[in-house]
Amino acid sequence: MIIRPYELKDEESWLRCRVLSFLHTAYFDHVLREKERYENPSIELVAEVDGQIVGLLDIEYEITERSVCSRGSGLGGMIWHIAVHPDFQRQGIATRLLDKGEELAKTHELNRLEAWTRDDEWVRKWYENQHFALVDSYLHVFIDKQAEMDQSIQSIYKNLYPIQAFAHYAGNQKEEVMGQFKRVHECVCYEKLL
């Protein structure tokens, strides 16, 4: 296995790796049709085995404080994507990608990394094992049943009927919101000082 910078020719393999790695997570429906491009500089790495992308890491980093990250002081980097193809998981690939990403982040004088994830316990454990600290959270609320829609979303336009909605809840009544909707995920922020 080699870890190297992402190249444009990797896009299709990158997308396949990401889709398959997210399939059995709380992000199962967050499918991309093309790889994101970042406004700020980024560290984009892939793990390759026999010409196949089996892991990926994207870190967009700041050149102006708090232009990418949601918290902290100094310059930070946001981990937008870290994923390993299911056939290659539990082989240390994500850790190796993160180690290389941290090494490169330090060369850009970043003092921390930030990552947001949902409530997959094994993902949270991985971040904690990599010495990230849980620092913030809010809720991702998926509204897709008519009863849920009727109680929470209304259109101001005649004959426009919302069918589905995705919302962020950042208030203090998380338990109540979690009880009102069928699909709610806690979105948590992890931070690691470099």
Total domains present in the chain = 1
- What local confidence, expressed as pLDDT, does residue 15 receive? 98
Residue 51 within any structural domain of the chain: yes
Residue 167 within any structural domain of the chain: no
* Dist CA 193 CA 182 (whole Å): 36
Residue 58 within any structural domain of the chain: yes
Count the alpha carbons within 13 Å of 87 in the hemisphere toward its beta carbon.
9
- pTM summary value: 0.94
For the segment 1-47, what is each residue's pLDDT rounded down to a tens digit?
A: 999 999 999 999 999 999 999 999 999 999 999 999 999 999 999 99
Tell me, what CATH number does 9's domain have?
A: 3.40.630.30
For the segment 81-127, what is each residue's pLDDT rounded down to a tens digit?
A: 999 999 999 999 999 999 999 999 999 999 999 999 999 999 999 99
In 3D space, the residue among 39, 43, 49, 108 whose CA is nearest the CA of residue 84 turns out to be 49
* Dist CA 49 CA 146 (whole Å): 46
User: Is it the case that residue 146 has pLDDT exceeding 90?
Assistant: no
Residue listed under structure tokens 């009102």? 180
User: Is it the case that residue 147 has pLDDT exceeding 90?
Assistant: no
Residue 141 within any structural domain of the chain: no
- What local confidence, expressed as pLDDT, does residue 151 receive? 87
Residue 102 within any structural domain of the chain: yes
- What local confidence, expressed as pLDDT, does residue 154 receive? 87
Enclosing domain of residue 107: 2-115
Residue 101 within any structural domain of the chain: yes
User: Is it the case that residue 150 has pLDDT exceeding 90?
Assistant: no
At residue 145 the predicted structure's pLDDT band, cuts being 50, 70 and 90, is: confident
- What local confidence, expressed as pLDDT, does residue 78 receive? 98
At residue 184 the predicted structure's pLDDT band, cuts being 50, 70 and 90, is: very high
Residue 185 within any structural domain of the chain: no
DSSP assignment of the chain: -EEEE--GGGHHHHHHHHHHHHTTSTTTT---SS----SS-EEEEEEEETTEEEEEEEEEE-SSTTSS-SS-SS-EEEEEEEEE-GGGTTSSHHHHHHHHHHHHHHHTT--EEEEEE-S-HHHHHHHHHTT-EEEEEEEEEEE-SHHHHHHH---SSTT-----EEEEE-SS-HHHHHHH-SEEEEEEEEEEE-
Residue 142 within any structural domain of the chain: no
CA torsion through residues 130, 46, 113, 173, sign:
negative
For the segment 62-85, what is each residue's pLDDT rounded down to a tens digit?
A: 999 999 999 889 999 999 999 999
Residue listed under structure tokens 């904690």? 128
Q: Long-range contacts of range 36-40, CB-CB < 8 Å, 24 or more positions apart?
A: 36/80, 36/81, 38/80, 40/67, 40/68
